[in-house]
Amino acid sequence: MKGIWILLFIILSSALPAILVFFWFRSKKPAVTLPWFLASLAAGFISFLLSALVHDLFFPKGVDTLWPVLFTIFVRIALVEESSRLVVLLPFLKKSKNSQYNDSSFGAALGLVAGLGFAVIESAFHGITNVNITVLRLFTTAPLHGACGIRAGKVVFTLRKNPLKAVFLFASTVLIHGTYNLIIVSPAYPSALSAVIAFAALFASFNHLKADNREDTSCSLQ
């Protein structure tokens, strides 16, 4: 019974950043209405399930020890999870074409919400399977996936306009995610460094939530 209450606490604590972001968007980004927000949050849930499915199909648990550590962290985990985020965000690009809010900053906002949705499920998962890292992840998973979600959302909404920029942005997303995971699992690095990376990545990603003048003009003409 105690474990259930702990899990419930983890889920509620993990959901708090998403709730705060919703009210922040209400005052700063009116384009992210409740339907868009809930759909993005659900996309985050789906991306977690999708990445878990890929892990089970292509990276069986019994084979984990055969892969080098860096491959496991940067490809098996970071690349797969970020790719799953792109997949679930792609339908939002098509859906937003008929809206005046279809610039890359809007995509970044949706990506942020999807990232936070992913973080809620992942925190609950680790709360069940590995209690030792639950507390650390409780404070770092949301900013990490929020930052990666922002970048993934921008990648989706800039892929057609600027493919090269989108590729480099996606590569940086995988690098940030992989570096965070490397620090989490490696005893050679202080655990606090993972929090520094997660929050630094989040603050650095906030700039992607701002539409540049060219995008603002494009939206106003639609």
Q: What does the alpha-carbon distance between residue 125 and residue 66 come to, in Å, rounded to a whole number?
A: 24
The domain of 212 spans 2-220
Nearest to 149 by CA among 175, 193, 102, 113: 113
Total domains present in the chain: 1
Residues 13-34 pLDDT 10s: 788 899 999 999 988 888 889 9
Q: What does the alpha-carbon distance between residue 151 and residue 148 come to, in Å, rounded to a whole number?
A: 5
- Give the pTM: 0.87
Residues 113-141 pLDDT 10s: 999 999 998 887 766 666 555 666 778 88
CB-facing half-sphere around the CA of 192: CA atoms within 13 A: 0
